Amino acid sequence: MKITFMLNDRKVTWDALPGESLLDFLRRHHVVSVKKGCDGSTCGVCTVLMNHKPVLACTVLAMRCTGEHIHTVEGLADEVEKISEAFGIEGADQCGFCNPGIALSLYALKRENSNAEASEIRQYLEGHLCRCSGYQAQVKAALRYIGGGQS
């Protein structure tokens, strides 16, 4: 079945299977910045934005995207650049597997609450597991990004 939706501000029409997750659907169509971790709603690496809100691509059905706006890191290059810079300065990433999902959540958080404090960042990032870091540097990087480059 063909579905039409906006992917990173471009209209696309792709075939989707009735029970296919958005995660499998995007990866099958070569959008591979969206990672597959637990495939069971518990690690956050598959996070994408649906109408500017973070959702877990492994949990949402592809069919549900008809007519919706989906953003992945590929579509938010300028913001992702700023987030990467903050992560670099604070030493907040190691293998980087969790980064695309965290970057999208941080972008959404900044849109929702441009004054988010450390406790609010921690709460917003709950659900994003990182097997490398101890999360402290990520929170510092998030504060730097949300504060416009100042930590």
Partner 1 sequence: MHVEAYHKVSTLEEAYELLQTHDSAVLLGGGAWIRTGSKPIEHLIDLKELGLNTITETDQSIIIGAMVSLRDMETHQGIKQLGGGFLSEALSQILGVAFRNTATIGGSVMGKYSFSDVLTPLLVLDVSLHFYHAKTMSLASFLSQRGRFRDILTAISIDKTPCKAMFKKVSNTTLDFSIVNVAVSLVKGRHKIAVGARPSIAVLAESVMRWLDTIEKPSEMILEEAGERVVADIKLGSNQRAKEAYRQQLVKTYVTRGLKEVHGL
Binding-site ranges for partner 1 (CB under 8 A): 1, 17-21, 40-42, 44, 47, 50, 53-56, 58-61, 63-64, 66, 101, 105, 108, 123-128
The one among 131, 136, 148, 151 contacting ligand FES by CB under 6 A: 131
CA angle 51, 108, 53 (to 5 degrees): 30
CA separation, residue 81 to residues 21, 74, 124, 149 (Å): 28, 11, 20, 12
Residue 66: CB atoms within 10 Å: 12
The one among 7, 26, 31, 43 contacting ligand FES by CB under 6 A: 43
The distance of Cα 128 from the centroid of its chain, to the nearest Å, equals 10
Binding of ligand FES by 98 (CB under 6 A): yes
Q: Per CB under 6 A, which of residues 30..69 are in contact with ligand FAD?
A: 40-42
The one among 17, 95, 112, 136 contacting ligand FES by CB under 6 A: 95
- Residue 67 CB-half CA count within 13 A: 0
97 binds, among ligand FES, partner 1, ligand FAD, none (CB under 5 to 8 A by kind): ligand FES
Backbone angles phi, psi at 125, to 5 degrees: -90, -5
Binding region for ligand FES (CB under 6 A) out of 10-18, 41-49, 78-86, 143-151: 41-49
Instruction: Give 62's DSSP letter.
Output: G
93 binds, among partner 1, ligand FAD, ligand FES, none (CB under 5 to 8 A by kind): ligand FES
Please enumerate in sequence order all residues whose Cβ is within 8 A of that of 135, keeping only pairs 6 or more positions apart, or say none: 122, 125
Closest separation in Å from C-beta 41 to ligand FAD: 4
